[in-house]
């Protein structure tokens, strides 16, 4: 069969999936944490990759994008991952896995990438001719980001914290300046990407389950992650079996969590 004929079914499948894609509201209501996947219903890795691409469009702190996404499709690696996820059904029966990784250690590279983007937006000119916006954004990535993310064994973080305490007596100021604070920031934004991914999968009629229960040290070793990488969550992927959804969705009464001011 020619390559042209081989491409036709995939193109038709993609067009059909786009036609049947759920709305945002439909995807939110369809998404459940699925614990058992149907081995008789394989999923298309290219669709999962497309959903990961949409995950990368998630909002994130200062556009630093301090994340990486490991898309695991190899059955042998999935089999190795399952015991590291404590043999949860969601891991054992998964067709594929996506591991969401934080990379706070890449802040210099990401800040540099943003500066390069700024250079492409604004032609080179003397500082006196730069607009207020251009000066502010160049200062933000050239001076403020290094000041916020740099630390030295936690010492500089506490120096920044003391400076903030003093300055905060006189005006509102950003207070999350220690290394542990920035770690929380990076994990929050990575979780936003994971949510984008799961809703994108739901829109395609695919199922997911976010798993925090894992031996993160062993997972890092298996995936050969660098020292500065941290695992945010592991998301299993597949198509649900009826018993894969453990009961009706339960949420506390909305008026207990909704506060209008």
Q: Is there a domain that residue 239 lies in?
A: yes
pLDDT interval class at 18 (50, 70, 90): low
Where residue 125 falls among pLDDT bands split at 50, 70, 90?
A: confident
pLDDT digits (tens, 9 = 90+) for 209-242: 999 999 999 999 999 999 999 999 999 999 999 9
Residue 69: give the domain boundaries: 33-105+152-243
Which residue intervals of 56-122 are DSSP H helices? 75-84, 89-92, 107-121
The per-residue pLDDT for range 73-82, each reduced to its tens digit, is 999 999 999 9
Quickly count: other Cβ atoms within 10 Å of residue 105's Cβ. Answer: 15
Average pLDDT of the chain is: 92
Two tokens at 206?
């695919």
Cα dist from 203 to 48, 191, 234, whole Å? 11, 18, 20
Overall number of domains in the chain: 1
Q: Let me know if residue 93 belongs to a domain.
A: yes
The confidence band for 45, taking pLDDT boundaries of 50, 70 and 90, is very high
| Percent of all residues in the chain with a pLDDT value above 70, rounded to a whole number | 93
Tell whether 232 is covered by a domain: yes
Summarised one tens digit per residue, pLDDT across range 126-174 is 888 999 999 999 999 999 999 899 988 888 988 998 998 999 999 999 8
- Is residue 118 in some structural domain? no
Residue 198 within any structural domain of the chain: yes
Q: From 21, 95, 28, select the one nearest 244 (Cα to Cα).
A: 95
Could you tell me if residue 41 is inside a domain?
Answer: yes
pLDDT tier at 16 (50, 70, 90 boundaries)? low
Residue 83: CB atoms within 10 Å? 13
pTM > 0.75: yes or no: yes
Q: Please indicate, yes or no, if residue 21 is contained in any of the structural domains.
A: no
The packing angle between helices 75-84 and 216-223, to 10°, is: 160
> Where residue 6 falls among pLDDT bands split at 50, 70, 90?
very low
Domain for residue 120, yes or no? no
CATH (domain of 160): 3.40.109.10
For the segment 179-200, the average pLDDT, to the nearest whole number, is 96
């Amino acid at each position: 069969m020619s390559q042209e004929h081989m491409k036709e079914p995939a193109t038709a499948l993609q067009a059909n999936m786009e036609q049947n894609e759920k709305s945002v509201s439909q995807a939110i209501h369809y998404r459940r944490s699925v614990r058992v996947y149907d081995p008789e219903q394989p999923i298309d890795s290219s669709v999962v990759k497309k959903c990961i691409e949409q995950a990368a469009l998630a909002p994130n702190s200062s556009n630093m994008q301090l994340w990486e996404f490991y898309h695991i499709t190899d059955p042998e690696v999935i089999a190795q991952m399952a015991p590291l996820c404590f043999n949860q059904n969601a891991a054992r029966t998964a067709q594929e896995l996506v591991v969401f990784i934080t990379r706070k250690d890449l802040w210099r590279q990401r800040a540099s990438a943003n500066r390069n983007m700024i250079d492409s937006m604004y032609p080179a000119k003397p500082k006196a001719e730069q607009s207020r916006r251009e000066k502010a954004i160049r200062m933000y990535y050239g001076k403020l980001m290094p000041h916020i993310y740099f630390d030295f064994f936690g010492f500089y973080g506490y120096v920044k914290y003391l400076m903030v305490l003093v300055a905060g007596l006189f005006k509102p100021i950003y207070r999350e300046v220690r290394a542990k604070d920035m770690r929380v920031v990076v994990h929050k934004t990575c979780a936003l990407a994971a949510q984008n991914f799961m809703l994108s999968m739901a829109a395609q009629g695919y199922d997911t389950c976010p798993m925090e229960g894992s031996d993160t040290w062993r997972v890092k070793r298996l995936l050969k992650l660098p020292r500065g990488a941290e695992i945010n969550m592991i998301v299993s992927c597949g198509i649900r079996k009826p018993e894969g959804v453990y009961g009706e969705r339960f949420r506390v009464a909305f008026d207990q969590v909704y506060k209008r001011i």
